[in-house]
């Protein structure tokens, strides 16, 4: 008998009012609550994790925002400074605008009304050219601000151009043209007539490089290029024709009509009537001059040696007082042939050359014609044929009139023997001079013992190669 709840006897579950079904129900409910608690705990843990992630993102964004905020504040503080700098740069870029006039003075020649007035004509030419350019800027260039300055550079060979004008009859002396040049330079502060001296393409090179320089300068609003006479500028202009800003900037000035290679270029053109010549200079007895180098000539009168302004060096490539001497043929023998003597140039007279003080007096060579030969006295000694006498190699070196060395003639030789000696590869310097500088490093043979005949052949082989010192060699050996 089971004990009771009060200790006095046994009692069954039914006596408490609970059945097995009720116990199972309570157990099920307990398990349900326990599962709910686990889900709640899992949910809360997930919420905490998500919160931590969002907190980290918030802090990152907060740092970035603070950095951006600091940058914006700094930029706002610097904005005023940048605006001031920008405005100052705009003012500087708009200040001092100028128009550049580049003229090749060897071909773009001023009209006679200016040239004949000397220095005053040069001043008038500068004034009129400046006024013409200013009028062109005011009427045709809307993008150029008021107050633009005009700069002009004329490059030319002043001496050579002056000589051409003297030959044409514009001046009595080239010094008068130099006065015109000075007047042009003094006429306007920013106008210069620059003497580049004698030489091919000197003015061209300066103008081309100046055009490239000012083409990149924002202050230079226009480039007026005076080169209508010379096709040499076409290449540079064609290379720049794909740059629209430069095509709009460069204006081609017309003096004489444009050469054919300049006509089709995509540049605007402008002509100032009455300022520059529109025709080529005609010189009596010479082809038309339009910037090229006129031929040399000999004056009909003597020139005073003290007047340096009337003499020009014959090596300048421009009009000179004497024709340039032709090259004398190189003579292979001390006795020139008759055909050679007939082609030698005549030497100008002693008085003509000495009067300028440029070329020392030379005894004139009589003309080699049949009349002169008939009138000439017979020579004191006449040989049936010129003979060659071998010189002593230890005493003197024979030379021709040109100062070139003449060695003794080679005797007849055996080609087979020469080829055989060549194949031995003996050192020429060692066996013929006994002073090979390469010694043990020499690539040719030193240990060979040649015979006298082989040495003679070796000497012939050595003469087949040109001397490293040239025809002016002073070494007897």
Asked if residue 232 is part of any domain, the answer here is yes
Band the pLDDT of 93: cuts 50, 70, 90.
confident
The confidence score (pLDDT) of residue 445 equals 85
Band the pLDDT of 191: cuts 50, 70, 90.
very high
Say which range, 34-38, 301-305, 426-430, 464-468, has the weakest mean pLDDT: 301-305
**Hey, how many other C-beta atoms are within 10 angstroms of the C-beta on 170?**
17
**Hey, how many other C-beta atoms are within 10 angstroms of the C-beta on 333?**
11
If one compares 471 and 44, the residue with the highest pLDDT of the two is 44
Q: pTM, whole model, 2 decimals?
A: 0.48
If one compares 349 and 119, the residue with the highest pLDDT of the two is 119
Asked if residue 221 is part of any domain, the answer here is yes
DSSP letter assigned to residue 190? T
Q: Contact at 8 Å (CB) between 305 and 355?
A: yes
- Among 236, 271, 306, the domain boundary falls at 271
The confidence score (pLDDT) of residue 283 equals 60
pLDDT above 70: residue 196: yes
Segment 327-380, tens digit of pLDDT: 444 433 333 444 334 434 443 433 333 333 333 444 444 455 545 555 556 555
Alpha helices (H) along 95-148: 112-115, 118-140
| Same domain membership, residue 401 and residue 264 | no
Give the tokens for residue 315. Answer: 């090596």
Report the DSSP beta bridge partners of residue 270.
253
| Same domain membership, residue 253 and residue 105 | yes
The confidence score (pLDDT) of residue 303 equals 38
The confidence score (pLDDT) of residue 210 equals 93
Closest CA to 239 of 267, 217, 260: 267
pLDDT above 70: residue 197: yes
If one compares 452 and 98, the residue with the highest pLDDT of the two is 98
| Same domain membership, residue 117 and residue 259 | yes
Asked if residue 314 is part of any domain, the answer here is no
Residue 370 CA, chain-centre distance (Å), reads 54
As a whole number of angstroms, the distance between CA 36 and CA 33 comes to 5
Asked if residue 15 is part of any domain, the answer here is no
The confidence score (pLDDT) of residue 189 equals 94
Closest CA to 430 of 405, 449, 416: 449
As a whole number of angstroms, the distance between CA 228 and CA 208 comes to 14
Closest CA to 223 of 249, 190, 253, 193: 249
Asked if residue 30 is part of any domain, the answer here is no
Asked if residue 264 is part of any domain, the answer here is yes
Sequential DSSP letters for 360-385: ---PPPPP-SHHHHHHSPPPSS--SS
CA distances from 378 to 338, 366, 367 (A): 17, 15, 16
**First and final C-alpha spacing in the chain:** 156
Q: What percent of the chain is modeled with pLDDT above 90?
A: 27
pLDDT above 70: residue 2: no
Host domain of residue 222: 98-271
As a whole number of angstroms, the distance between CA 206 and CA 201 comes to 9
Q: Contact at 8 Å (CB) between 270 and 254?
A: yes
| Element holding 234 (H helix, E strand) | helix 234-239
CA dihedral 59, 62, 63, 66 (to 10 degrees): -160
pLDDT above 60: residue 68: yes
pLDDT above 60: residue 317: no
Asked if residue 300 is part of any domain, the answer here is no
The confidence score (pLDDT) of residue 16 equals 56
Residue 217 CA, chain-centre distance (Å), reads 19
Segment 429-440, tens digit of pLDDT: 888 888 888 877
- Among 248, 271, 294, the domain boundary falls at 271
| Same domain membership, residue 409 and residue 265 | no
Q: What is the CATH number of the domain that holds 117?
A: 3.40.50
Give the tokens for residue 342. Answer: 């007939």
Exposure string over 460-471, b if 16+ CB within 10 A, otherwise e: ebeeeeeeeeee
| Same domain membership, residue 242 and residue 108 | yes
Phi/psi class of residue 470: alpha, beta or left (left: φ > 0; alpha: ψ in -120 to 50)? left
Average pLDDT value for the chain = 76
Band the pLDDT of 477: cuts 50, 70, 90.
low
Phi/psi class of residue 380: alpha, beta or left (left: φ > 0; alpha: ψ in -120 to 50)? alpha
pLDDT above 60: residue 419: yes
Asked if residue 75 is part of any domain, the answer here is no
Name the burial class of residue 431, with classes exposed (0-12), middle (13-18) and buried (19+) by CB atoms within 10 angstroms of its CB. buried
- Among 224, 241, 271, the domain boundary falls at 271
Question: What SS3 state is found at 250?
Answer: strand
Segment 258-316, tens digit of pLDDT: 888 888 889 999 999 999 998 888 765 444 444 544 443 333 333 343 443 333 333 33
When divided into structural domains, the chain yields a total of: 2
Sequential DSSP letters for 411-456: PP--HHHHHHHHHHTB-HHHHHHS--SSGGG-SSB-S----HHHHH
Say which range, 3-17, 91-105, 410-424, has the weakest mean pLDDT: 3-17
């Amino acid at each position: 008998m089971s004990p009771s709840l009060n200790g006095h006897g046994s009692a069954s579950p039914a006596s408490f009012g609970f059945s097995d079904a009720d116990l199972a129900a309570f157990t099920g409910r307990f398990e349900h609550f326990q599962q709910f608690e686990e889900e709640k705990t899992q949910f809360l843990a997930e919420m905490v994790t998500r919160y931590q992630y969002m907190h980290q993102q918030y802090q990152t964004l907060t740092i970035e925002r603070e950095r951006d905020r600091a940058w914006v504040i700094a930029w706002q503080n610097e904005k005023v400074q940048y605006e001031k700098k920008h405005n100052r740069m705009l003012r500087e870029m708009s200040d001092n605008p100028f128009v550049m006039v580049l003229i090749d003075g060897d071909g773009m020649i001023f009209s006679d009304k200016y040239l004949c007035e000397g220095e005053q004509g040069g001043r008038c030419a500068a004034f009129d050219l400046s006024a013409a350019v200013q009028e062109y800027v005011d009427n045709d260039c809307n993008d150029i601000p008021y107050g633009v300055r005009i700069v002009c550079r004329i490059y030319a060979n002043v001496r050579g151009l002056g000589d051409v004008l003297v030959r044409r009859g514009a001046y009595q002396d080239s010094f008068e043209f130099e006065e015109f040049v000075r007047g042009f330079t003094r006429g306007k502060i920013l106008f210069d007539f620059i003497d580049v001296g004698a030489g091919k393409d000197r003015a061209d090179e300066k103008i081309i490089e100046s055009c490239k320089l000012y083409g990149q300068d924002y202050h230079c609003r226009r480039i007026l290029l005076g080169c209508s006479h010379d096709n040499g500028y076409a290449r540079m202009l064609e290379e720049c024709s794909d740059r629209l800003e430069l095509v709009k900037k460069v204006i081609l000035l017309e003096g004489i009509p444009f050469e054919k290679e300049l006509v089709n270029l995509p540049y605007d053109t402008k002509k100032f009537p009455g300022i520059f010549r529109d025709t080529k200079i005609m010189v009596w007895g010479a082809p038309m001059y339009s910037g090229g180098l006129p031929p040399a000539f000999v004056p009909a009168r003597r020139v005073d040696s003290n007047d340096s302004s009337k003499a020009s060096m014959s090596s300048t490539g421009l009009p000179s007082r004497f024709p340039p001497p032709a090259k004398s043929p190189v003579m292979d023998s001390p006795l020139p042939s008759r055909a050679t003597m007939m082609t030698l140039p005549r030497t100008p007279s002693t008085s003509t050359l000495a009067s300028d003080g440029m070329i020392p007096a030379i005894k004139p060579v009589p003309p080699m014609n049949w009349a002169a030969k008939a009138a000439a006295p017979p020579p004191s000694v006449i040989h049936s044929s010129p003979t060659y006498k071998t010189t002593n190699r230890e005493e003197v070196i024979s030379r021709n009139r040109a100062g070139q060395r003449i060695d003794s003639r080679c005797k007849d030789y055996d080609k087979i023997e020469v080829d055989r000696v060549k194949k031995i590869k003996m050192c020429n310097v060692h066996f013929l001079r006994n002073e090979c500088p390469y010694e043990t490093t020499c690539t040719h043979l030193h240990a060979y013992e040649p015979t006298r005949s082989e040495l003679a052949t070796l000497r012939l082989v050595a003469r087949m190669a040109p001397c490293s010192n040239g025809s002016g060699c002073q070494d007897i050996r």
